[in-house]
């Protein structure tokens, strides 16, 4: 059989024959994801204006210690030295942050956007060797499945916050059932974060079976098919939930600082 010997020529950094705008998605990812990291870090350091009435910002939920009525264990303990900057968000934000940071989709996106490794498919990169994610430090990304367990627990807290957001103080020391725009904002937040979490690649493995084999259980097979179908939209859920969780914090913060007034639907 006739054959031709082809020699592979390695490309220089950013060298490519592509004529499309391959740099656009990494650039958008850099701006949007970078802005989210900057904003969420700023919001976490504020330690104030994270709750208003029955609403609690998702960046601070669950509030373990804090000054708001949502705090599960009461005020900030006195044994925490005053010189240590403290915010209730510090105790919890690492979990959803770690879940997002180790997400299979985001990894592919921010490896390209933040350090160009690779910049895009068939675009030359700086490195000549490929280590994959089998060695330190990137092998740490395998922790993702454990962050998934935490993310599932966080969804329960956020759903409970929506329930709490239906009960408004009536001014006479009681609570009255109602619905505000903020309630809807927090409800959409749970739906989007739930869609992002339930479309997680690791969840497919968790529900589908063990040791690279699909379970024989019809329930597991259905669950696997369902999470697999959702996984096709994982990128969409990733961006929508990122945007909305930031927006939810902004909404509560603007209500708490009296910049806007929450509209009560009933």
Binding residues (CB under 6 A) for ligand FES: these are: 103-105, 144, 200-202, 234
Taking the least distance from each CB to ligand FES, the nearer of 103 and 242 is 103
CB-nearer residue toward ligand FES: 235 or 254:
235
Q: Which residues contact 144 (CB under 8 A, 6 or more apart)?
A: 99, 102, 103, 104, 202
Q: What is the rounded CA–CA span in Å between residue 139 and residue 149?
A: 19
10 Å CB burial of residue 258 (0-12, 13-18, 19+) is exposed
- Cα dist. 60→65, 74, 83, 112 in Å? 10, 14, 21, 30
Of the two residues 47 and 201, which places its CB atom closer to ligand FES in the complex? Answer: 201
Cβ closest to ligand FES, residue 100 vs residue 253: 100
Q: Which helix (H) or strand (E) holds 213?
A: strand 213-214
Taking the C-alpha atoms of residue 49 and residue 254, their distance in angstroms, rounded to an integer, is 8
Residue 52 or 244: which CB sits closer to ligand FES?
Answer: 244
Closest residue by Cα to residue 58 from 155, 148, 127, 153: 155
Nearer to ligand FES, 227 or 248 (CB): 227
Task: Return the exposure string of 69-91: e unless at least 16 CB atoms fall within 10 Å of the residue's CB, then b.
Answer: ebbeeeebeeeeeeeeebbbbee
Let me know: does 88 contact 60? Beta carbons within 8 Å.
Answer: yes
**At closest approach, how far in Å is the CB of 199 from ligand FES?**
7
Closer CB to ligand FES, 196 or 251, in the complex: 196
**How are beta strands 55-56 and 51-52 bridged, if at all?**
antiparallel
Closest separation in Å from C-beta 200 to ligand FES: 3
Structure tokens at 180: 């505000």
Tell me the closest approach of the beta carbon of residue 207 to ligand FES, in angstroms.
13
Please report how close the Cβ of residue 77 comes to ligand FES at its closest, in angstroms.
33
């Amino acid at each position: 059989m006739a054959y031709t010997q082809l020699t592979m020529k390695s490309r220089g950094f950013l060298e490519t024959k592509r004529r499309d705008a391959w740099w656009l998605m990494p650039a958008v990812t850099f701006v949007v994801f970078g802005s989210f990291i900057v904003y969420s870090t700023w919001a976490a350091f504020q330690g104030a204006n994270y709750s208003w009435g029955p609403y609690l910002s998702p960046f601070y939920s669950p509030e373990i210690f804090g000054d708001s009525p949502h705090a599960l264990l009461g005020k900030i303990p006195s044994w925490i030295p005053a010189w240590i900057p403290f915010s209730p968000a510090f105790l919890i934000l690492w979990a959803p942050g770690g879940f997002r940071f180790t997400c299979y989709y985001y990894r592919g996106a921010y490896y390209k956007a933040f350090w160009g490794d690779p910049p895009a498919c068939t675009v030359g990169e700086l490195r000549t060797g490929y280590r994959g994610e089998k060695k330190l430090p990137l092998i740490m990304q395998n922790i993702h499945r454990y962050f998934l367990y935490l993310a599932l627990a966080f969804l329960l807290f956020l759903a409970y916050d929506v329930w709490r957001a239906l009960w408004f103080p009536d001014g006479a020391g009681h609570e009255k059932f109602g619905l505000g725009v903020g309630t809807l904002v927090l409800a959409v937040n749970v739906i989007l974060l739930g869609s992002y979490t339930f479309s997680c690649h690791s969840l497919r493995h968790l529900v589908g079976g063990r040791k690279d084999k699909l379970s024989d259980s019809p329930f597991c097979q259905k669950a696997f098919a369902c999470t697999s179908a959702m996984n096709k939209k994982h990128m969409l859920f990733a961006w929508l939930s990122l945007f909305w969780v930031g927006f939810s914090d902004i909404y509560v913060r603007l209500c708490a600082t009296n910049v806007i007034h929450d509209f009560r639907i009933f």
